[in-house]
Amino acid sequence: MATRHFLTLLDLSPTELNNLITRAIALKAELANGGHNDPFKNKVLGMVFEKSSTRTRVSFEAGMAQFGGHAMFLSPRDTQLGRGEPIEDSARVLSSMTDIIMIRTFGHEIIERFAQNSKVPVINALTDDYHPCQLLADMQTFTEHRGSIQGKTVTWIGDGNNMCQSYINAARQFDFELRIACPEGFDPNSDLIKANKDRVSIVRDPVAAAKDSHLLVTDVWASMGQEDQQAERIKLFTGYQLNDQLLSVAASDALYMHCLPAHRGEEISAELMDHPDTVIWDEAENRLHAQKALMELLLTQ
Ligand code: CP
Ligand code: NVA
């Protein structure tokens, strides 16, 4: 059977994704009740990070340890990747010594080229275009607090970035309506919107977009690699903040999420970030449980 990868949410079927969320919730309970039985003993996860990370690194590394396996952190600074060894050669070599690999990098085509040359499953741990692992955690969090997201309305506020584009794929796979409120010039990929126009729409006005919504989501205005645009973007994104005003027009039981790291007072208000009822910390923790379910699925194919 061909090696399966997880480069976007479209690499798993809707049924597989829903089963994965159920399994993540079960693994979370199992961990709380004493842990697992070393199912990945002697398995090795290679972790290639070309961008910074807190949650992704810790969740993959902790998850592999809790499963009895080993995780290996590889940065371009200390490997030949940083000295220009072709990605195809790196994929052949790394996949000959590990059982599964995750990569965080810049262009999405880099991870596609890596996967084409890998003998073992490759997981997208964030590219400029997609962050599918975060969506697994977000979907798990919504399910835990509110049940199935199928048929609900989700509003994205802010930049049409890798997280926003992953929400477009999630709308398709988990079957919900997605309204995207982003300033002009910061839309997600137009082909992606067109391909999902039955479920996804651009609504420029954040208040109109948030009306009666069941989930409001945002992310930083300048992503990794866009640090030089930070000051300019703060001006252009004024009015696109996730705050009490937006939450007040949403459904009465609406949740709000942020993948973190966050900038209080920019894309999200300090009040919402620090609210005692926020599920944002569950969302971060669920990276651990959802990715364990993902590794289990890919390693037991
Ligand atoms: N949300 C997320 O991917 O966080 P890190 O950048 O800290 O991994
Ligand atoms: N859009 C952000 C997500 C960080 C987890 C970035 O790419 O930097």
The answer to the question of whether 23 is labelled as a binding residue is no
Q: Determine if ligand 2 sits within 6 Å of the CB of residue 219.
A: yes
What does pLDDT average to in each consecutive run of 10 residues of the chain (301 residues)? 95 98 98 97 98 98 98 95 96 98 98 98 99 99 98 98 99 99 98 98 98 98 97 97 98 98 98 98 99 97 79
* Residue 261, marked binder: no
Q: Say yes or no: 113 and 170 in one domain.
A: no
Please tell me whether residues 115 and 144 are part of one structural domain: no
Q: Is there an atom of ligand 1 within 6 Å of 58 CB?
A: no
**Distance of alpha carbon 127 from alpha carbon 82, whole angstroms:** 17
**pLDDT for 199:** 98
Q: Cα dihedral sign for 218, 169, 171, 197?
A: positive
d(CA 210, CA 230): 25
- 85: how many CB neighbours lie within 10 A of its CB? 13
Inter-residue contact 68 to 38 (CB < 8 Å):
yes
For residues 115 and 161, membership in a common domain is answered with no
**So what's the pLDDT on residue 1?**
75
What is the Cα–Cα distance from 27 to 33, expressed in whole angstroms?
10
**Are 144 and 262 part of one and the same domain?**
yes
Q: Are residues 19 and 110 in the same domain?
A: yes
Rounded to the nearest angstrom, the distance between the alpha carbon of 260 and the centre of ligand 1 is 6
Strand partners, 48: 74, 103
Task: Answer yes or no: is 7 a known binding residue.
Answer: no
CA of 65 to the centre of ligand 1 (A): 19
The pLDDT, as a whole number, for residue 301 is 79
Pairwise CA distance, residues 166 & 160, whole Å: 10
Q: Give me ligand 1 centre to Cα 104, in Å.
A: 10
Q: What is the pTM of this model?
A: 0.98
Give the DSSP per-residue string, the chain. -PPP-BSSGGGS-HHHHHHHHHHHHHHHHHHHTT----TTTT-EEEEEESS--SHHHHHHHHHHHHTT-EEEEE-TTTSGGGGT--HHHHHHHHHHH-SEEEEE-SSHHHHHHHHHT-SS-EEES--SS--HHHHHHHHHHHHHHHS--TT-EEEEES--SHHHHHHHHHHHHHT-EEEEE--TT-PPPHHHHHHTTTTEEE-S-HHHHHTT-SEEEE--SS-TT-GGGHHHHHHHTTT--B-HHHHHHS-TT-EEEE-S---BTTTB-HHHHT-TT--HHHHHHHHHHHHHHHHHHHHT-
**Number of domains, the chain:** 2
CATH number where 173 lies: 3.40.50.1370
Mutate to test the pocket of ligand 2, among 127, 133, 163, 291 (most ligand atoms within 8 A of CB): 163
User: Does one domain contain both 72 and 110?
Assistant: yes
Do 162 and 245 share a domain, yes or no? yes
Question: Does the CB atom of residue 218 touch ligand 2 within 6 A?
Answer: no
- Residue 117's φ and ψ, nearest 5 degrees, are -110, 10
Taking alpha carbons only, the member of 187, 149, 129 closest to residue 10 is 129
Looking at the fold, whether 78 and 174 belong to one and the same domain comes out as no
278 marked as binding residue: no
Residues 33 and 100 in one domain: yes
| pLDDT at position 173 | 98
| Ligand 1 centroid distance, CA of 225 (Å) | 14
| Rounded Cα–Cα distance for residues 104 and 251 (Å) | 35
Contact between 215 and 191 (Cβ < 8 Å):
no
pLDDT at 24: 99
* Orientation angle between helical segments 108-116 and 87-97, nearest 10 degrees: 50
| Residues 103 and 212 grouped into a single domain | no
* Ligand in closest contact with the CA of 53: 1
Based on the fold, state whether residues 170 and 258 are members of the same structural domain: yes
58 CA closest ligand 1 atom index: 8
Give 256's strand partners.
216
Domain of 73? 5-131+284-300
Q: Are residues 87 and 174 in the same domain?
A: no
